Structure 1
Amino acid sequence: MRGVVMHGPGDVRVEDREDPKIEAPTDAVIRVTAACVCGSDLWPYRGQEPAEGLLMGHEYVGVVEEVGAEVTTLKPGDFVVGSFVISDNTCEICQAGYQSRCVHAEFVHGGIGTQAEKARIPLADGTLVVVPGEPTEEQAKSLLAASDVLGTGWFAAVAAEAGPGKTVAVVGEGAVGLLGVLAARRLGAERVIAMSRHADRQALARKFGATDIVEERGDAGVERIKELTGGLGAHSVIEAVGTQESMNQAIRATRPGGHVGYVGVSHDVSLDGLELFFSGIHLHGGPAPVRRFLPDLVELIMSDQINPGEVFDLTLPLESAAEAYAAMDKRQATKVLLTTGA
């Protein structure tokens, strides 16, 4: 099969890889019908994480081709969507709703890689969700978004306790931040402030439910949010970047007693203990337990209540993966969908 491998910063290649096979009785092999490039894939692409020989991709939808002897909820021919973290969905941590920290957790990125024509998914019963019926092309795009960026944005909104009567600020204008806007509105937030400097992303944020746009960043962005909230700050803030500036901005834009939901993968972020102590805010986040939300998200998508697939603004064939990475790195695309031709 063909699959994407990163050999170093900026060095993305599509190569022949061995077809995956059932290795454990709890495995499934799926034919990947669509994958995509994530903002987190850009960290190794830019040399900010190790990149040699990485099997790329952790967002995926596809059709089950084969299942192990102990798989009970899936069968060949099922259309499925799965989380970017392998989980058994039965351990105490999973049952508490934190499948991304399952006792058997394994990240799909790096060791499995779903920017490929096929993929072996361990613990298939716990990781994959069967989609009822046959999705349309638009629904399939949205299901692909649910595999990570929608589920991550949703978790961020839940962690920030977005809800009725709340003002939510979203730090980050990538796919996760934009879908955090959608999630906050679906959870009933009265007001959603999207922080964005780019007209196309501002337009999509408004389509997803943003009521206000703030273009300023850093301390100026914090002050603007406070101006919009009577000097108090937002009740809930989603942090969807993972830098020192974005985390500081999120914390300082939150009113005392408010909540920050942080899902941006942290890179060189440190917190001032004294500032945090006197802020009086709640912090909650980390790798999103996407599997917790997938059943409900699948239902919302298949009933056409939400269309998160709109975050994909460029579609390319798998063989053009290097072009896809470059487009996202240069901010020429918000999120790129890769088709496999399957």
Structure 2
Amino acid sequence: MRATLFGGPGDITVGERPDPRLETPTDAVVRVTLGCVCGSDLWYYRGVNPHALGPIGHEFIGVVEQVGADVTTLRPGDLVVAPFTYCDGTCANCAAGWTGNCLHGGSFGNHGIDGGQGEFVRVPYADATLVKVPGGGHSDTTLKSLLALSDVMCTGHHAAVSAGIEPGATVAVVGDGAVGLCAVIAAKRLGADRIIALSRNPTRQALAREFGATDIVIERGDDVTKLIMDMTGGLGVDAALECVGTGQSMATAFSIARVGSIVGAIGVPHDSVVPIDTVIFRNVGLRGGVAPARRYIPELLDDVLAGRVNPGLVFDYETDLDGIADAYTAMIERRATKSLVRISAGQ
């Protein structure tokens, strides 16, 4: 099969990998219809974070081609959403709801596991991992939003849930990438009345407003802290969602959080430091981490299929496998918020 291959920093190509086959009775083989490039893929591409040589890509939807003898909830022809990590659904962590930290799981597109930027994927623990999409004949708009459920929508939702957003809350979203924009959707979905999006990009500002942002601020550093404190009567926001992972974004999130609130942080950390003085003396908490996407997908799926949320709008660049290299560079050069890759036709 054809698949995107990571050859080291700056080296993304399309090559051949062995067609996946069933290796255990709990496996399924999925034909990928839509995949995409994640912001975390760019850290590997830049050489900032390590990634094994070989397949890459952890976000995809597709059609089940084969199932192992012990798979009971899926059959060939089913349209499925794959969370970015696979899980067994039975270990202590999964039982507690933390499917992204499964004791026997892992991520797609790394360490030899097939990636979502290729034509086929072997999915371990298929019953526990894959989420079947009911119905058929879904529009392209819906399919894009289903793809967003594989990672960015669930990750933005995790930031909002971790921060404890309640109806009527005032929320700030630090970061205007695909995850930050999905965090705006999540904050609105959970009942926030005021959503302040930090963004300097006009295209992303407009999308943030479409998703429910009530305020856009372009300031950074001390200036944004002062502005948001002024906007909130000197109190700060009820929930700060940190969706970048840099030192500046973490510092900003804590500086604008009101006493007793929680920072929901899901950005992959790069030189970020938790200000312990703020934690202690302002009683500001920190929660977040790797999103348990498999736990969140079913509830978010209902909203996608009903048209109540449309996270697929974050995809503003499209290509096929032959254009995968530019899909990466388009995001690095900020020509794209998030790149979608059409792998095969059909549902």
TM-score range, shorter chain: over 0.9
Quick one: distance in 2 between partners of 1:108 and 1:151?
Answer: 16
CA contact (8 A) 1:35 1:60 kept: yes
Q: Deviation at 1:269?
A: 2.0
Quick one: distance in 1 between partners of 2:271 and 2:26?
Answer: 37
Does the alignment pair 1:331 with 2:334?
Answer: yes
Quick one: distance in 1 between partners of 2:275 and 2:211?
Answer: 34
CA contact (8 A) 1:9 1:51 kept: no
Equivalent residues in 2 for 1:21-40, closer than 5 Å: 21-40=21-40
Structure 1 residues not aligned, in runs of 5+: none
**Aligned counterpart in structure 1 of residue 171 of structure 2, from 168, 171, 177:** 168
Percent of aligned positions that are identical:
52
Equivalent residues in 2 for 1:216-227, closer than 5 Å: 216-227=219-230
Q: Deviation at 1:272?
A: 3.6
CA contact (8 A) 1:238 1:262 kept: yes
Partner of 1:147: 150
Could you report, residue by residue, the CA deviation over 1:223-271 in whole angstroms, capped at 9, with x for unpaired residues? 2111111111100011110111111111111001011110001122222
Quick one: distance in 2 between partners of 1:234 and 1:275?
Answer: 14
Quick one: distance in 1 between partners of 2:165 and 2:36?
Answer: 28
The worse-fitting range, judged by mean Cα deviation, of 314-323 and 266-275 is 266-275
CA contact (8 A) 1:149 1:175 kept: yes
Structure 2 residues not aligned, in runs of 5+: none
Does the alignment pair 1:283 with 2:286?
Answer: yes
Q: How many residues align?
A: 342
**Aligned counterpart in structure 1 of residue 135 of structure 2, from 133, 136, 140:** 133
Q: Deviation at 1:51?
A: 4.1
Quick one: distance in 2 between partners of 1:279 and 1:337?
Answer: 42
Q: Deviating runs (4+, > 6 A) in structure 1?
A: none
Could you report, residue by residue, the CA deviation over 1:47-82 in whole angstroms, capped at 9, with x for unpaired residues? 101245141100000000001111111111000001
Does the alignment pair 1:102 with 2:102?
Answer: yes
Quick one: distance in 2 between partners of 1:55 and 1:225?
Answer: 43
Could you report, residue by residue, the CA deviation over 1:254-300 in whole angstroms, capped at 9, with x for unpaired residues? 00101111000112222243343223111101000011111111111
Q: What's the TM-score once normalised by structure 2's chain length?
A: 0.96
CA contact (8 A) 2:159 2:183 kept: yes
CA contact (8 A) 1:312 1:337 kept: yes
The worse-fitting range, judged by mean Cα deviation, of 105-114 and 285-294 is 105-114
Quick one: distance in 1 between partners of 2:11 and 2:190?
Answer: 40
Letter of the 1:263 counterpart: I
Q: Deviation at 1:97?
A: 1.8
Quick one: distance in 2 between partners of 1:91 and 1:51?
Answer: 26
Quick one: distance in 1 between partners of 2:92 and 2:50?
Answer: 32
Equivalent residues in 2 for 1:1-342, closer than 5 Å: 1-51=1-51, 53-111=53-111, 112=113, 113-134=115-136, 135-342=138-345
Letter of the 1:118 counterpart: F
Quick one: distance in 1 between partners of 2:126 and 2:88?
Answer: 8
Quick one: distance in 1 between partners of 2:256 and 2:311?
Answer: 26
Letter of the 2:65 counterpart: E
